[in-house]
């Protein structure tokens, strides 16, 4: 006798089995490109064939990203990216007061004062990941010490940068370099590039920029080709100015991923890479140069190779990637004036600060540490007050002198910044940069086309112009449809967004917010942060 299934059993048989929950990412890849302006991705888009092409066609691309604070420099910019907080909260106000630390000497290299994140305040994505899973593996790599250190924060992780031809670290992180780092340095050093020549990647007709501007590269060697010195010592010191430095950095990062087996666990690991050559090429030749164009073409190819190589170690559907820049750059003033026929110039307040410091030192026999850097005249305000100096009056008098200089757009003192209206964009930038207890007298912004400069022929980016602030913010998330949102977002939004993708809740209040466009297709995480 045939037994017919009950309606309940039939219904159960026809229902498809539940789909397995999406697996969380096993590797978060964060890439910062030093001096990567937001317009570069679109400007050269018809020539991308590698990593940038992949980001534009597959990623969620916020072209109107912002490093949204004054003093648009490497250290403050990198401090925002994986912390989700502005420099006013990370306490990294400038390159001059960033990672320098005489108590953390660099391993194996007698150079500089040493480096550590001791000045950095607060936490980062790394701390939130380690808080949930102490087995999380972290690797951070850059040519620059501050670019390797500051995205990670104070965590003692695998943090490496490049000094005198080799990758190294400091005693803050370890007493000696691990074997894989020593092996890489022995196998792939900068000396291997000695005597090679930087030629154009594409035919001459592919470049619209002239190769004959005499104000580039400090007025000398401003045309292709550009040979790298042939001696080992000179090559070690000079390679940071050549595109090969980025390829060496990416090769080192890939070797680290392979050796440390990043992305091979159930829980997510973190790889942070900061690529610095665009910054040094941009400073030397400017953002309108053929050299900058060719550097980005090469970087596009290097990134494509790196992502392809990384996908052979960690499946692409288990990786999320975020890319941004630490700041942009303003055109060389000479280019602005002589080629664009627009106002421009170089401005410096260091002389005023030094003269005032000398007068105060003679009167009170005390050094009040007056200094000028990137629009800010800082001072030991507590010492001034202790000797009966009216800081408000002193600042107001100095501000009056600054306003008389050509090229100055806005000037603030602590008193006027505190009372500036909410719609004052310049005041907003300085408020995001300056900690509440920071000692300063005057903060200024230059007019369009003017840059803070001691006078040397180089491009600058510390004036917080729109060209300095604008950077790309890009996410590559498996399962997410490509998007190009036009609205502005900030680099402090990267960390909370990555945390949301990982299902991690930050451990402190943030200045950034989660970007909903990135979480619109949660194919990889399938969850939200824990309450």
Number of domains in the chain: 2
Residue 453 lies in a domain: no
* Same domain membership, residue 190 and residue 318: yes
Cis peptide before 225 (omega within 30 of 0): yes
- The tens digit of pLDDT for each residue in 346-403 reads 999 999 999 999 999 999 999 999 999 999 999 999 999 999 999 999 999 999 999 9
Give the span between the Cα atoms of 384 and 366, in whole angstroms.
9
Q: Which of 502, 405, 489 shows the shortest CA–CA distance to 444? A: 405
Q: For residue 298, what are the CA distances in angstroms to 49, 277, 314, 337?
A: 10, 11, 24, 29
* Same domain membership, residue 88 and residue 47: yes
Q: Which of 286, 268, 292 shows the shortest CA–CA distance to 214? A: 286
Instruction: Return the pLDDT at 22.
Output: 57
Give the span between the Cα atoms of 524 and 501, in whole angstroms.
8
Vertex 73: Cα angle to 380 and 48 (nearest 5)? 175
* Same domain membership, residue 182 and residue 164: yes
User: What six digits make up the tokens of 436?
Assistant: 């509440």
Residue identified by tokens 């007698």 is 110
Longest dimension (CA), the chain: 114
Instruction: Return the pLDDT at 525.
Output: 46
Residue identified by tokens 């929950």 is 21
- The tens digit of pLDDT for each residue in 305-356 reads 999 999 999 998 999 999 999 999 999 999 999 999 999 999 999 999 999 9
* List of residues 6+ apart from 110 with CB closer than 8 A: none
Kindly give the parts of the chain with pLDDT less than 50.
Answer: 1-14, 19-20, 525-531
Instruction: Return the pLDDT at 147.
Output: 98
* Same domain membership, residue 314 and residue 278: yes
* Same domain membership, residue 352 and residue 330: no
Alpha helix positions (H), 409-515: 414-419, 425-433, 466-469, 494-502
Give the span between the Cα atoms of 79 and 328, in whole angstroms.
16
Pairing outcome for strands 470-476 and 489-490:
unpaired
- In 10 A of CB 102, how many CB atoms? 10
- The tens digit of pLDDT for each residue in 40-52 reads 999 999 999 999 9
| CA 272 and chain centroid, separation | 11
Phi first, then psi, for residue 38 (nearest 5°) are: -65, -25
User: What six digits make up the tokens of 68?
Assistant: 């949204």
Pairing outcome for strands 440-446 and 408-412:
antiparallel
Q: What is the CATH number of the domain that holds 106?
A: 3.40.720.10
Residue 106 lies in a domain: yes
* List of residues 6+ apart from 380 with CB closer than 8 A: 368, 369, 439
Instruction: Return the pLDDT at 522.
Output: 52
* Same domain membership, residue 479 and residue 420: no
Residues spanned by the domain of 203 = 27-336+465-519
Give the span between the Cα atoms of 326 and 78, in whole angstroms.
6
Residue 510 lies in a domain: yes
Residue 457 lies in a domain: no
pTM: 0.93
Last residue of a domain, one of 385, 418, 447: 447
Last residue of a domain, one of 390, 413, 447: 447
Instruction: Return the pLDDT at 410.
Output: 98
Q: Are 151 and 274 in contact (CB under 8 A)?
A: yes
Q: Are 277 and 193 in contact (CB under 8 A)?
A: no
* Same domain membership, residue 508 and residue 413: no
Residue 470 lies in a domain: yes
Instruction: Return the pLDDT at 232.
Output: 85
* Same domain membership, residue 497 and residue 430: no
* Same domain membership, residue 383 and residue 255: no
- The tens digit of pLDDT for each residue in 416-426 reads 999 999 999 99
Helix axes 290-311, 277-285, angle to 10 degrees: 170
DSSP letter for 513, please: -
Length of the chain: 531
60: left (phi over 0), alpha (psi -120 to 50) or beta: beta
Q: What is the CATH number of the domain that holds 361?
A: 3.30.1360.150
Residue 297 lies in a domain: yes
* Same domain membership, residue 105 and residue 198: yes
* Same domain membership, residue 352 and residue 320: no
* List of residues 6+ apart from 134 with CB closer than 8 A: none
* Same domain membership, residue 61 and residue 40: yes
What element of type H or E holds 470?
strand 470-476
Give the span between the Cα atoms of 179 and 407, in whole angstroms.
53
Give the span between the Cα atoms of 159 and 116, in whole angstroms.
10
Residue 531 lies in a domain: no
Residue 452 lies in a domain: no
């Amino acid at each position: 006798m045939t037994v017919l299934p009950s309606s309940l059993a039939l219904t159960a048989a026809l229902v498809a089995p539940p789909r397995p929950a999406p697996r969380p990412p096993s590797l978060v890849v964060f890439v910062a490109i030093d001096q990567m302006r937001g317009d570069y991705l679109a400007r050269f888009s018809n020539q991308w064939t590698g990593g940038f092409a992949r980001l534009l066609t597959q990623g969620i691309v916020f072209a109107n990203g912002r490093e949204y604070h004054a003093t648009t420099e490497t250290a403050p910019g990198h401090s925002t990216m994986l912390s989700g907080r502005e420099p006013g909260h990370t306490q990294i106000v400038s390159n001059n007061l960033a990672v320098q630390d005489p108590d953390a000497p660099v391993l194996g290299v007698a150079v500089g004062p040493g480096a550590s994140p001791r000045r950095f305040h607060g936490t980062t994505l790394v701390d939130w990941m380690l808080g949930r899973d102490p087995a999380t593996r972290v690797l951070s790599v850059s040519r620059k010490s501050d670019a390797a250190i500051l995205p990670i924060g104070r965590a003692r992780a695998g943090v490496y940068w490049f000094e005198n031809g080799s990758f190294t670290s400091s005693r803050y992180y370890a007493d000696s370099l691990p074997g894989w780092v020593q092996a890489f340095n022995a196998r792939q050093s900068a000396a291997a590039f000695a005597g090679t020549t930087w030629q154009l990647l594409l035919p001459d007709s592919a470049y619209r920029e002239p190769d004959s501007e005499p104000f580039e590269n400090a007025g000398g060697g401003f045309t292709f080709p550009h040979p790298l010195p042939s001696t080992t010592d000179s090559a070690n010191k000079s390679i940071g100015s050549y595109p090969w430095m980025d390829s060496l950095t990416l090769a080192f990062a890939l070797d680290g991923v392979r050796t440390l087996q990043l992305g091979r666990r159930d829980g997510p690991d973190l790889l942070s890479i900061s690529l610095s050559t665009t910054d040094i090429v941009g400073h030397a030749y400017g953002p309108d140069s053929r050299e900058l164009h060719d550097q980005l073409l090469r970087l596009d190819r290097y990134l494509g190779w790196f992502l392809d190589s990384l996908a052979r170690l960690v499946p692409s559907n288990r990786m999320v990637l975020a890319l941004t820049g630490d700041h942009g750059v303003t055109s060389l003033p000479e280019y602005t004036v002589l080629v664009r026929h627009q106002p421009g110039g170089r401005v410096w307040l260091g002389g005023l600060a030094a003269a005032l410091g000398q007068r105060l030192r003679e009167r009170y026999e005390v050094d009040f540490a007056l200094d000028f850097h990137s629009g800010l005249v800082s001072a030991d305000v507590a010492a001034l007050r202790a000797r009966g100096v009216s800081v408000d009056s002193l600042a107001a008098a100095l501000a009056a002198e600054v306003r008389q200089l050509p090229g100055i757009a806005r000037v603030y003192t602590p008193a006027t910044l505190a009372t500036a209206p909410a719609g004052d964009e310049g005041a907003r930038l300085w408020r995001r940069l300056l900690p509440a207890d920071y000692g300063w007298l005057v903060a200024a912004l230059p007019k369009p086309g003017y840059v803070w400069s001691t006078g040397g022929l180089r491009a600058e980016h510390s004036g917080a112009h729109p060209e300095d602030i604008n950077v790309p913010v890009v996410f590559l998330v498996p399962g997410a449809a490509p998007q190009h949102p036009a609205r502005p977002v900030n680099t402090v939004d990267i960390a909370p967004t990555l945390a949301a993708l990982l299902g991690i809740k930050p451990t402190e209040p943030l200045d950034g917010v989660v970007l909903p466009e990135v979480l619109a297709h949660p194919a990889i995480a399938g969850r939200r942060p824990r309450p």
